[in-house]
Structure 1
């Protein structure tokens, strides 16, 4: 192309989690003047302006918030297509099931290419959600490019019949400058107990019940630990209700979404995950970047970042007994915890650069548009 490519980042968002932060990292790390990114985020349920939109505006980017009159408002397709025509958008880049369906339809209507980046696939039990996810996966076939974030997501996408050249892999990246700023600054949060923590969406595939069970088991024999859970989601109310049945309930704290989540992350003595399905979790990258030791289940995506006994400790999926022992190791063996967290910090900075990721997406969009 002779002109600077103009790409619309499109997401149907309700909060500020991994996919939203990923969009910011991609746009912030693009080479100056090389590409123009704009942002479209659907406005649903008369919600207030989302943090992603606020941050994008602060960076000087153009934003657009089409209103969704109900959960799936087909009229938004035409609204986005008209926006693309009016603002000379060259391509749409989508994130998430609903965004993929709407974005692909809008791209066809505006006669511009659509790139889909899968951030993970939900193994939901709700039949309505499963149906909607199935439709989103079927929609991938009509994208110009499908670009997963991890090798496991590549395999998942191949299972939907997506192959090269439509399928292309660009390894995930994360902007750790914000993490580094907090890591190198004085601590802002005090504590009087060892702090075990989780940051992320409270949805079924995060399997947070296991975190609660393991913590409750440890709390039977020690009173020097507390559990902090940051984030929100469909499962939060049920999980809070379940935690009230546990003996350790006074030391379990559901904090919801926090603007200063990195200050809380810095205060953790241990970052834990018990997900059953992931891409390469941004929250895990941030924990490694902050130098917080990690214990998790070994599943695809997580094991791309955490190498057992090298950059963290991994138990087989659902092996709560083994994971409990790993929690104890990292809580009580300071030398081992420091060794693993130092290795993890070096690893994430070396292999998951947001600048490298942004450059590869620039090349992708340039090739598509040429």
Structure 2
């Protein structure tokens, strides 16, 4: 490997098709084997569907499962490999990762906040104490604190984050070749699509009632859920649809390699999430010119400031209001492709901007060596 190639180790839970994982793999691929080599350390120790893409981009997937000897194994690995940068994407647990990296002599230590919500475990005094320790370790060990949006940085780190010189918001981008492969085609009958893992935080259950009310005006309407099912939440949605006589109007597509073709054949993207950092699926739909109806959240407000085809609505509004907005957007139709492409090209969400921003952060380790 050339001496001038930066070696970056990304830390994630598992290489699944989630927003953080996909965006980080796309970032690694965007360097095309030049300037940066990205390896990925996964804390679950499990194989993932994105492992092959990491290897095809020239990186390695290192399995380092959590356990009694985890910190010792991580320390020894970092000492041996001498990465230029450790870039951790595991929220507050990044404090543990980066503190170990500091002890191992890694110069660049980046924590990346993808959301402001820690929702994987029940709230308790012990849990709060653990998160407090992790935050203190971040203050001690992180050279840079990144977030996918201002709302995520505000919630995850501090309302006064701008006073911390380590804090920066970096919007992720969409590789242009992905957009170029897709042509928007209005469906023969109206289709609402939602793209997200099927779980309570994404709030797809709310859409069953909205769908029922939309059918009064659009009797041929179908709802498609694209994403892997988590736990029994998909079953709960199926049961709710069956109770309302809508079972044949709700289609579970499952996990797909690329959701863009599914979006391109839809009338409306809908996002009723309880929380999002910066919703990648909504950004992708905006880039295609597909109308988007999203819950009023900090991340969706940031997108709406740049894309006129994204409408936001409070989750406090009832299903009738959501249905009225959905029907209006479906009838308005998609933006002309040239307009959508021009809008996206002038936005801060391009892949080239994200790539160069990350490289500027990572390469400072060489400048200060």
Tell me the alpha carbon deviations over residues 261-282 of structure 1, each in whole angstroms, 9 at most, x when there is no partner.
Answer: 2222221111000122211111
Alpha-carbon contact 2:309-2:335 (below 8 Å) kept: no
Deviation at 1:156, TM superposition (A): 1.4
SS where residue 293 of structure 2 aligns?
strand
Tell me the alpha carbon deviations over residues 55-84 of structure 1, each in whole angstroms, 9 at most, x when there is no partner.
Answer: 111112222122x3xxx5243333233222
Q: Point out where structure 1 has 5 or more consecutive residues left out of the alignment.
A: none
Residue of 200, 224, 239 corresponding to 2:220? 224
CA distance in 2, matches of 1:3, 1:125: 39
Deviation at 1:224, TM superposition (A): 0.9
Deviation at 1:179, TM superposition (A): 2.9
Asked if 1:210 is matched to 2:206, the reply is yes
Distance 1:83 1:123, change over 3 A: closer
Deviation at 1:218, TM superposition (A): 1.6
C-alpha RMSD of the superposition? 3.1
| Residue in structure 1 matched with residue 283 of structure 2 by the alignment | 285
CA distance in 2, matches of 1:27, 1:101: 23
Deviation at 1:131, TM superposition (A): 6.5
| Residue in structure 2 matched with residue 64 of structure 1 by the alignment | 62
CA distance in 1, matches of 2:136, 2:235: 36
SS where residue 324 of structure 1 aligns?
helix
Deviation at 1:53, TM superposition (A): 1.3
| Residue in structure 1 matched with residue 39 of structure 2 by the alignment | 38
Tell me the alpha carbon deviations over residues 115-153 of structure 1, each in whole angstroms, 9 at most, x when there is no partner.
Answer: 111111336496259965874575244231211111112
| Residue in structure 1 matched with residue 353 of structure 2 by the alignment | 356
Q: Point out where structure 2 has 5 or more consecutive residues left out of the alignment.
A: none
Deviation at 1:213, TM superposition (A): 1.8
Deviation at 1:202, TM superposition (A): 2.5
Alpha-carbon contact 2:190-2:218 (below 8 Å) kept: no
Deviation at 1:227, TM superposition (A): 0.5
* Greater Cα shift, 142-151 or 230-239: 230-239
Deviation at 1:161, TM superposition (A): 7.8
CA distance in 2, matches of 1:353, 1:76: 37
Spell out the pairing of 1:17-166 with structure 2 (5 A cutoff).
17-30=18-31, 33-44=34-45, 47=46, 49-66=47-64, 68=65, 72-97=66-91, 100-112=94-106, 113-122=108-117, 124=119, 127=122, 135-136=130-131, 138-143=133-138, 144=142, 145-159=144-158, 164-165=163-164
CA distance in 1, matches of 2:211, 2:193: 10
Distance 1:30 1:267, change over 3 A: same
Residue correspondences, number: 356
The normalised TM-score by structure 2 is 0.84
CA distance in 1, matches of 2:39, 2:94: 17
CA distance in 2, matches of 1:98, 1:169: 16
Deviation at 1:220, TM superposition (A): 4.5
SS where residue 281 of structure 2 aligns?
helix
CA distance in 2, matches of 1:15, 1:87: 25
Asked if 1:365 is matched to 2:328, the reply is no
CA distance in 2, matches of 1:364, 1:182: 31
* Greater Cα shift, 260-269 or 133-142: 133-142
Deviation at 1:236, TM superposition (A): 3.2
The normalised TM-score by structure 1 is 0.84
* Greater Cα shift, 123-132 or 134-143: 123-132
